[in-house]
A and B are shown apart, each in its own frame.
Chain A
């Protein structure tokens, strides 16, 4: 069965610290997709990144970077030099090819960045 685990319920950091949000997934499919979404206090889910299972290349976008490791079934998200505006709940999600493409979400990690 498919499952996404975000073991960190809440993380608090001070501005300019680096922070890594962990995501571990389970799937039996060989073709699948991983996502990160951000949910700020306003409530809307904002897409951050999509990664497919056959592309393990890590990605960097500004202060954001993602580390995908199939060997450990992990897709971790790092924010470098965090800012107060990064405060939000971050969700990791999985979808399996041919399974309606529905998203299976983790329980989310609440990140609080203090000035």
Chain B
């Protein structure tokens, strides 16, 4: 597709269950980011993938959060044993590799997955 796509759009789960959120970046974008938007914390960085390099996981809030990126394209964010504080909108963004031009590359965002943990 033309833009970043995410699925599902909405997810309601029970506390303690695992969830998987999917992101399909813009074709040709090798950099992929996950962010979280919640009422209390605003927009915060979670994890970054760039090509075959080791991901930057510095923003993951706990070891219940993990992410994979298979084949350098689609990414899955997994939250294990969900807690109510995990309720938020999870946003994915992609960009051309930093340094592709002489400037920082722009991140383009998907529509997000709204997660509600009951």
Q: Are A and B co-members of a single complex?
A: yes
- Is B45 within 8 A of A104, CB to CB? yes
A106 to B45, CA, bound (A): 12
Interface of B is mostly: strand
Quick one: given A45-B109, A101-B104, are A107 and B42 in contact (CB under 8 Å)? yes
- Is B103 within 8 A of A50, CB to CB? yes
Q: How large is the interface on A (under 10, 10 to 19, 20 to 34, 35 or more residues)?
A: 20 to 34
Chain A hits for B103, CB < 8 A: 33, 50, 52
Nearest residue (CB) in B for A95 is B104
- Which A residues form the contact surface with B (CB < 8 A)? 33, 35, 37, 42-47, 50, 52, 91, 93, 95, 97, 100-108
- Which B residues form the contact surface with A (CB < 8 A)? 31, 33, 35, 42-45, 48, 56, 58-59, 89, 91, 93, 95, 98, 103-112, 114
